[in-house]
């Protein structure tokens, strides 16, 4: 079992562009020939996490249950004109029409097929950006269980003044030119097409989709984009798969600091903020660093928020 554990626990390329970080972290070699030099193959060790997303009934039940609870919370928030899911939002919220903010990757769109391909191919970290962009260009990601039904149902709801809910997609899919394509952001066109293929179109969909670097100041921290939404809408719910989808600076802080941040907003989880499980990659792993033995030696996070203060 001890020899198997590293392959189970390390998701070697947690810093996906989809998760909002710049490049896969360098991992120490564990011996053997991978063709990647001193680096581990992309996502080596993420096999069981990827299988859980792709094949387990437990994941489907979890995701669908979370989205069902989110829809109930949305109804509750719509009935309260002072309700907001954006900590930076203040003022006369009742004057603003309602909105939901959602991450895209592994919150709305399921990328586990791309993850499985790269695991099977032994993809090297340097190869990841091109392969990820090719996956986006396929426009073939299915929906995360429960996501499409939630989005369609949310758009049918109205606030106390009869204004419909608008769903915004704040994603760290990054705009980047491609050879033989004239668009400055073909990733936007691809993502729009993928959403439309899942019958998630809306008259405002193009404006509702907000990619990383699509505009100046839209970097991997999503706060600036959420604040832009909050200037014109009351943010009733926020749904994502990473702490960085909800709080700024979460991708740089230690696990203990991240836990304290979670606890400061304890009342918001499951009421205004909803997290879709994603054990394949994310800032939860990248903040642990590349040393598996050191990460395993860390004490577990506190059992409750009283112990985390």
- Which CATH number characterizes residue 40's domain? 3.40.50.1000
How far, in Å, CA of 161 to CA of 163, rounded?
A: 6
CB 280 within 8 A of CB 112: yes
Residue with tokens 């903040």: 287
Report residue 96 CA to chain centroid gap: 26
Element (DSSP H or E) covering residue 263: helix 255-264
Element (DSSP H or E) covering residue 190: helix 186-197
CB 213 within 8 A of CB 219: yes
If one counts every other C-beta atom within 10 angstroms of the C-beta of residue 203, the result is: 7
Higher pLDDT, 136 or 181: 136
If one counts every other C-beta atom within 10 angstroms of the C-beta of residue 208, the result is: 19
From residue 125, how far is each of 141, 174, 252 by CA, in Å?
21, 17, 20
Q: Which of 169-173, 176-180, 203-207 has the lowest mean pLDDT?
A: 176-180
Rounded average pLDDT over 284-294: 87
What single-letter DSSP state applies at residue 286? H
Q: Tell me which residue of 73, 181, 187 sits closest to 129, measured CA to CA.
A: 187
How far, in Å, CA of 260 to CA of 256, rounded?
A: 6
Residue 11 banded pLDDT, cuts 50, 70, 90: very low
Element (DSSP H or E) covering residue 6: helix 5-9
Mean pLDDT of the residues in the chain: 88
Work out whether the CA dihedral 230, 232, 234, 235 comes out positive or negative. Answer: negative
User: Which residue blocks in 29-173 are alpha helix, DSSP H?
Assistant: 47-55, 57-79, 112-121, 128-138, 147-155
Q: Which residues of 135-164 are buried (b: 16+ CB within 10 A; e: fewer)?
A: bbbebebebbbbbbebbebbeebebeeebe
Higher pLDDT, 40 or 137: 137
Residue range of the domain that includes 295: 5-308
pLDDT digits (tens, 9 = 90+) for 217-238: 888 889 999 999 999 999 999 9
Total structural domains in the chain?
A: 1
- What confidence score (pLDDT) does residue 187 get? 97
Rounded average pLDDT over 70-77: 98
- What confidence score (pLDDT) does residue 4 get? 33
- What confidence score (pLDDT) does residue 24 get? 37
How far, in Å, CA of 235 to CA of 97, rounded?
A: 9
Residue 5 banded pLDDT, cuts 50, 70, 90: very low
Task: Please tell me the pTM assigned to this model.
Answer: 0.88
Residue 25 banded pLDDT, cuts 50, 70, 90: very low
Q: Tell me which residue of 141, 131, 154, 133 sits closest to 197, measured CA to CA.
A: 141
- What confidence score (pLDDT) does residue 34 get? 65
CB 158 within 8 A of CB 79: no
How far, in Å, CA of 309 to CA of 304, rounded?
A: 9
């Amino acid at each position: 079992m001890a020899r198997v554990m590293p392959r189970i626990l390390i998701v070697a390329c947690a810093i996906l562009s989809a998760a909002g970080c710049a490049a896969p972290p360098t991992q120490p070699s564990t011996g053997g020939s991978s063709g990647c030099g001193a680096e581990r193959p992309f996502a080596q060790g993420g096999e069981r996490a990827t299988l859980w997303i792709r094949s387990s009934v437990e994941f489907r039940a979890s995701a669908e249950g979370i989205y069902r609870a989110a829809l109930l919370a949305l109804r509750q928030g719509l009935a309260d004109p002072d309700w907001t899911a954006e900590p930076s939002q203040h003022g006369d919220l009742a004057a603003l029409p309602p909105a939901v903010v959602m991450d895209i990757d592994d919150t709305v769109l399921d990328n586990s097929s791309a993850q499985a391909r790269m695991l099977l191919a032994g993809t090297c970290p340097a190869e990841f950006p091109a392969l990820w962009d090719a996956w986006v260009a396929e426009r073939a990601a299915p929906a995360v269980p429960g996501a499409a039904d939630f989005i369609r149902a949310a758009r049918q709801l109205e606030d106390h003044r009869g204004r419909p809910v608008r769903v915004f997609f704040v994603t760290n899919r990054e705009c980047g030119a491609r050879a033989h394509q004239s668009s400055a952001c073909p990733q936007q066109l691809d993502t729009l097409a993928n959403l439309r293929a899942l019958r998630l179109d809306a008259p405002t969909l193009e404006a509702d989709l907000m990619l990383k670097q699509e505009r100046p100041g839209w970097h991997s921290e999503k706060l600036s984009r959420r604040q832009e939404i909050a200037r014109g809408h009351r943010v009733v719910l926020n749904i994502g798969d990473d702490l960085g989808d909800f709080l700024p600076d979460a991708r740089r802080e230690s696990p203990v600091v991240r836990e304290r941040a979670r606890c400061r907003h304890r009342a918001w989880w499951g009421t205004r903020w909803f997290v879709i499980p994603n054990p394949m990659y994310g800032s939860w792993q990248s903040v642990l660093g590349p040393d598996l033995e050191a990460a395993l030696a860390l004490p577990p996070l506190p059992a409750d928020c009283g112990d985390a203060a």
